[in-house]
Structure 1
Amino acid sequence: MPTLSPTTNLYTHDFLLGGRLVYNQLAAGYRTGIEPVLLSAFIPAKRGDAVIEGGCGTGAGLMCLAHRVPGIRGFGLEQDQETTLLARENFSINNFQNLQCIHATIPHIPSFMMQDAASGKLRFDHAFANPPWHADSGTPSPNPRREAARRLLPGMLSEWIASLARLLKQQGTLTLILPTGLYPQACQLMEKNSLGRITLFPLWPKAGKQPKIILIQAYKYSAGMGRILPGLTLHQEDGKYSQEAKAVLQEGHSLLS
């Protein structure tokens, strides 16, 4: 079991994947939900792949992916300096030496990340993100860090998709988790940025209930047919997680067929 850092009133000590990973996060501000875990379970990475996450927070998504697919090389972009430092600490205490967190704000991605220094080619096999998606017209959060992590400003989704798409190799994937109301816009933006073969994966709150969030995945320079998968039902009628959801959220299973 990884070792916890000393407790302070600024941070909380939590766990991911049923206790398999230690996860320190800020006590106030943006708090990780199940979205990064579900997102990481849908990325078709394999050993040796280079993966980048936009807005990685304190590293939950990257760590869950690295736990499921040992041997990936993972990079996170995070705009908040303190959150960046916490992500680095989380990577260290969980012994993920192949994960890094870079202090950067999309769309201003450091130039060294665009290309591999040795080959000069694009670096990344996969990109993923849980971008801000709360409406610009909504009530702002009194916590500035939480507000920055949640608020979808005009043009922001376009910037995120374009910036991450530029980093991908041919046939590399971009995977997003978004509210269902944003998926038509996201699909249009993906196509605009040479991303095709779009897959939609609904996340049903309960059987028979409309999905509130959806996973969207597309391939760079691919003209293949899109598809809608059956998705995942998160909860049983009593409100407890379904067996399929528990396999992903607590045991680290993949959502890929």
Structure 2
Amino acid sequence: MNNNIKLLENEAIDDLQLDNLYLIQKKSGFRFGVDAVLLSNFAKVKRSHRVVDLCSGTGIVPFLIYGKYKAKEIVGVEIQEDMVEMAGRSSRYNEVEEIIKFYQGDLKDIKFLNTLGKFDVLTVNPPYKLNNTGIINSEDKLAIARHEILCNLEDVIVASRKLLKDNGRMYMVHRPERLIDIFQLMRKHKIEPKRIQLVHPKVNKAPNIVLVEGQRDGGAYLKWEDPLYVHNEDGSYTKEINKIYGREL
């Protein structure tokens, strides 16, 4: 660890309990949740792969993917400058800055995307709420992370096609109510849906998370994974979730 990395006000270093990795994030405000953990577990990554994570936020998905799979290079792309700066400090703190790199940029900027090259695997936890209801502060960090203010679903999928190698794989976490939009836009931009998993808060509750894998220029075939349940009836985490978090073999 590089103990010379400075923390700003309202920041803490959190132990990811994975391969001795740590993440700098706010004590209050935007913090990673179960979505990021599920996405990194759902992705299929090899050591030889170049991986890019869009809408990277604090960089949690790149660090989880590195801890799980040891990909040779992982790039995080985030539009908010302070998030990129924080993620970069996490990379330096973990002394993996030559492997996990973060760039500030707009995924709608094709010239910027061209500078990144092509990737075997792309992950994304995009804003999932439509930006068409109520008054939303466009400067609010949480609003930017959750609402389609600075990019929408189609922007994400267009950028994904641009960044993926031929037959490269895209992994997305989103909300089940947007599933038709996801499939329609993926096929429109020639990323074929290949695998899907629904995540339920508990048994007998409707799913509130969906994980989708797509392949650039892939053939038409969709595999449904078994549903995943987050909590038991007593509120404790299920065996499957504890295994994903590394708490149970």
Q: TM-score, normalised by structure 2?
A: 0.89
Name stretches of at least 5 consecutive residues in structure 2 with no aligned partner: none
What corresponds to 2:119 in structure 1? 124
CA distance in 1 between counterparts of 2:18 and 2:235 reads 18
What corresponds to 1:36 in structure 2? 36
Residue 187 (structure 1) shift: 0.8
What corresponds to 1:53 in structure 2? 53
What corresponds to 1:102 in structure 2? 103
What corresponds to 1:78 in structure 2? 78
What corresponds to 1:119 in structure 2? none
CA distance in 2 between counterparts of 1:157 and 1:82 reads 23
Residue 28 (structure 1) shift: 4.3
Distance 1:70-1:182 versus aligned 2 partners, 3 A rule: same
Q: Number of matched residues?
A: 246
What corresponds to 1:203 in structure 2? 199
Q: Deviations over 1:154-206 (max 9, x none)?
A: 97110111111211111111111011101110011111111114311111111
CA distance in 2 between counterparts of 1:87 and 1:23 reads 8
Asked if structure 1 preserves the Cα contact closer than 8 Å seen for 2:2 and 2:92, the reply is no
Residue 49 (structure 1) shift: 0.4
Aligned partner letter, 1:126: V
SS at match of 2:231: coil
Aligned partner letter, 2:200: W
Aligned partner letter, 1:85: E
Deviates more, 1:195-204 or 1:72-81: 195-204
SS at match of 1:205: strand
| 2:187 is equivalent to residue 185 of structure 1 | no
Distance 1:103-1:230 versus aligned 2 partners, 3 A rule: same
SS at match of 2:214: strand
Residue 241 (structure 1) shift: 1.0
Percent identity, aligned pairs only?
22
Deviates more, 1:15-24 or 1:232-241: 15-24
Distance 1:182-1:99 versus aligned 2 partners, 3 A rule: same
Distance 1:89-1:229 versus aligned 2 partners, 3 A rule: same
Aligned partner letter, 1:113: T
Asked if structure 2 preserves the Cα contact closer than 8 Å seen for 1:36 and 1:130, the reply is yes
What corresponds to 1:120 in structure 2? none
- Larger RCO: 1 or 2 (CA < 8 Å, sep 6+): 1
Residue 10 (structure 1) shift: 2.5
Aligned partner letter, 1:32: F
CA distance in 2 between counterparts of 1:131 and 1:111 reads 17
Asked if structure 2 preserves the Cα contact closer than 8 Å seen for 1:34 and 1:249, the reply is no
Name stretches of at least 5 consecutive residues in structure 1 with no aligned partner: 116-122
State how 1:224-235 maps to structure 2 within 5 Å.
224-235=220-231
SS at match of 1:92: helix
Residue 5 (structure 1) shift: 4.5
Q: Deviations over 1:72-108 (max 9, x none)?
A: 3110111111110111111121232301000112212
Distance 1:3-1:235 versus aligned 2 partners, 3 A rule: farther
Distance 1:126-1:142 versus aligned 2 partners, 3 A rule: closer
Asked if structure 2 preserves the Cα contact closer than 8 Å seen for 1:79 and 1:105, the reply is yes
CA distance in 2 between counterparts of 1:90 and 1:141 reads 28
